[in-house]
Each structure stands twice: as C-alpha cells, then as structure tokens.
A and B are shown apart, each in its own frame.
Chain A
Amino acid sequence: MNPKKLTIEKIQEALRGQRYICDRSLATVVYLSIAMGKPVLLEGEAGVGKTEIAKVLAEVMETKLIRLQCYEGLDANTALYEWNYPKQMLRIKLEELRRGDRDVVETEIFSEEYLVKRPLLEAIQSDGPKPPVLLIDEIDRADMEFEAFLLEVLSDFQITIPEIGTIRAKLRPYVFLTSNRTREIHDALKRRCLYHWIDYPTFEKEYEIVMTKFPEVRDHLAKQICSFMQRVRQMNFYKRPGVAETLDWAAALIALNRQEVDEKTLAETMGCIFKYKEDLHHLKEELTGKRLALDQMLKDLPELSA
C-alpha cells in the first residue's frame, strides 16, 4: 500500500482484508500516525487486539515488523545495541597471530560488523524500501528509566553510538506502543503519542470478528459464542476474557465439531475462556448452583434480534 495515497477508508478496508476488524476511530488514528509520523499509544484490557494491529499493519503496508517486548529490567543493551565481544576477542587473537597493525584492529573491531543490533537500532537503521513497523509491546512492564530512554529515541529518531557516531533514521518507522495500564505512563511520553483506547468489542463487532476469522462457523454457534462472552464480561471474574479468548474458544468448538453450546460442551472447553483456577471454579459454581442460567447466557442479545 502506498502511504501517500492512504485514506481512513482504505486503511479500514485493508485491515479487514487481513481479517482485522477495527472501528473507524482506530483506523483514523492509524491513518494520522502514518501521515504525521507520530507514534500511537494503544491501551486496553488484555486480549482486545493491541499487539495484533501492529502485526496486521505490517502485512498491509508490506513491510517488516520489528518487535520489542518490554519487561522489568529491560535496558539499553537489550533494546538498542551491543558490541559483539566474543567476535571482537576472536579478531584480536587472530591479529595477534598475524602480527597485524594495532591501530587498524582497534578501529575495525568497533565498526558495524561487530555491532549486535537490537530492535530499536534495527528500526532506525532500516533502509527500506519501506519504513518498518516498530512495535514496543507492554511498555508498562519496563521501568521508568527505560521510558525516559525511549522518549529520547522517539523524539529524534536518532541514536548515538560513541565509537561510530550518530545514526539517523532514513525512514521514520511507524511506531506502536501498547500498555495494559499496570502503571501510569509518564505524561511526557504520552504527549508525544496519539492515544487510543481499545475497548471490548460490542456484540456486533465481536460477531463480525468471529465470522471473519472463521468463515466456516455456523451463524447460530457464532451468535451463541458472542452472547455468552458479552455477558461473561459483565460478571465479576478476576480476569475478564478478551477477544483472544473468544477466538480460542470458537476454534476449539469448531475443532470439536460442535453445532451449539450446551452445558457439557461448555464444561469441556471453558479452559479456553478462563485461565485462572479461581475463575473456572467460580463459573462452575454459578452453573451448578443454577444462579446462572446457561440458556439465558446464550440467548441473543436484544440488539441483534431487533
């Protein structure tokens, strides 16, 4: 896709072509981000497709995806670059045998050949033909020090390596940051980004997602799945299931060749929806206690029947 000829509609269409259903507002944000060269900060509950959009966009733009998974303790060495010390060592040993020129060796072992590129450097150095998509996943897991460092990189899109010099991005990568909000992101970083909150999908949207991902699924089953998920999200579970869980569950039901959801099927497959023992237990209790009527849960939501 040519970034110069993009429109909001085209993005939405193209994402749908890759089986990613998104609201117009999200498509607008993606469009702006590409047009303005501004990073996007995506927040939302787990499993609503924050990471997925970056992956799908890379497909759509026919460019590569560079991913940086954040974790506590992530530092510049792992995110940016590192010297390949073993390789440098070997070179030095070889030169010793050959009695090479010391100065030459010194400059050579600090050249690009001995540089281990980590995601951020890779994204900045990428020379195309198209700008890469840089996904900085779960930024809230990294610590404040890393955030400050990231702020620097994202504002100038350049990196200085003392031994080599400054490397400036030829093509500004499309940057996506995701956060699960386990802690607040610093204002300065937020201000540099376009912000979008991805909510749990509505029934209609979720139904569309299921139908797009699994065209073979029976209409009745898809509706049952989505109604159930919509209602489960209203209830009090430790970890509310996202779209990812919906899709897992749908895939499981299809693989088991079930035409509809009943109590037995649910009992067999509820591991797809809930990932905590307590939640599984809670659901089981509700079902056996008849406090929660399964057929009520599976009934179409009013919006759809209307």
Chain B
Amino acid sequence: MRFQAVITTALVVVVAVAIPGQANAQNPPAGAIFDLATAHPAAFSASAYTQFTTSFVASATSEYVSFAFREVPAYFSFDDASVTQQGSSTNLLQDPGFESDTAANVGTNFPVGWGRWIQPVDTTAIGVVASGNTGDCASSGPHTGSYFWCDGSVQGYDGLYQQFNGLTVGATYTITFWLTDNSGDPMSNPQIDMLVYAGPALPTGTQTIGTPPAPILVTTPVPGTVWLMLLGIGALGLYLLFRRWNAPRIGGIKT
C-alpha cells in the first residue's frame, strides 16, 4: 500500500513537470466539425492526395467555412475544395482550386478570394500559395491545375476561410477537399492536424490577417419542380401565342 502511494506521488510529480514542457503544444480552436487526426490517423504518401468530406447544417443565413492547419515537422498540401448545398452541384466557394492565383503571389499568405485567420501565438511560418512541384510542398504539387495551398504552420493553427451570405437556415451543406501531407508521420493533434470549421463566426480565439474578401452572396438553387413549372408556363404561353397568330381574321383584324 505504501509502495503504491509512493509511486502515485512520483507519477503526479512527473506529470506536473511534464506539463510545462508541453506549453508550446498549441491546441486548435474548439468547435471543429472535422478533425483529420480522427478521420485519417495514418501517415500520408506525399504524392497521393486523399479526398475528404464533411457537412454542416446552416444555423444562420451568414456563416464562415474555415480550413485550419498545423504541421510542426513538415507541410500539408490542400487543393480543390467545395461547399455545396445538398441537392445542388454548385460549388459556393470562390477559387476553390487556387487557380486564380498567379506567379506573383506564390509564396505569399494571401490566396485570391480567400480570407485568412491565425491563432495569436502563430506569428511565423503560416501557409502560402504554392505552384507546381516547387517549394516546401514540392513532393506533392497541386492536386489539379497549377496552384494549391501549402501549409506548415509551427506555432499555432492558421486558417483559410470564406464567408457566405444567403444560406438557407436548416439546409445541409457538404464540404469536400483534397489533402496530403509530406511528413511521413501519423497525424497527431495538435502537432500534425487539419480541421474544418463552419459557423456564424470565425473560430474562437482567432484573429484575421490582411483584408477579408467580400462575403459570397449565395443564391438559393431553383429546385427541379420549379424549373418544370416554369417550362410548363413557357410552353402554355407559346401555345396561346400560336393560337392567336393562327386565329381567323375578320376584316383583316385578328380576333
């Protein structure tokens, strides 16, 4: 009994000493709807992208969708994302594959059409626009096209986001993206992890950097039944016009 008490006390001391040693282990913001370390705990092959899917139900007409990264030993490559309303194939994201970027903004932190946030501790080594098989993500390159996002944030998490206005409250929105990692190590929260957030505000404790892009105004997709009704009304209008044109004339005047 005395032995157990001694060992337990020693363990408590060890843990107490260990915790300050982990002070740099920056935890991600709370509230993620997707955690890579859970969805894909195994290591990636750098040259092989994997597609991931998650979803959220809009709780407000205006919401933010964020993709967050932290990669202490190496770099994530991220490309070809989408946000679609269930039942529609329209991608609501602006420049989802980073192809509006140019050689001029490769290596910068600001991809065209995307907003950026960081955790305040994260002052260096945040993600950059990448191109082809060059830079820190050379071993992966883009998933498709020429440009992609390369992120090896070391101090805290940094995020890419877009804001949508005009969402349908209660509707389900599907998020997909392609991702790979060149560390060769298994995913581990918080050192090597990628998370997705969706909500009426940006994740708690983050701060935006640069000039945020204008929110995207979402137009509600017209359901198939409405299209059929419009088609029917159009056909009826044409028929009535045809009848009127071919109606018998009295004194040269159409009846």
| A and B pair up | no
Measured CB to CB, the residues of B under 8 A from A are none
* Chain A residues within 8 Å of B, Cβ to Cβ: none
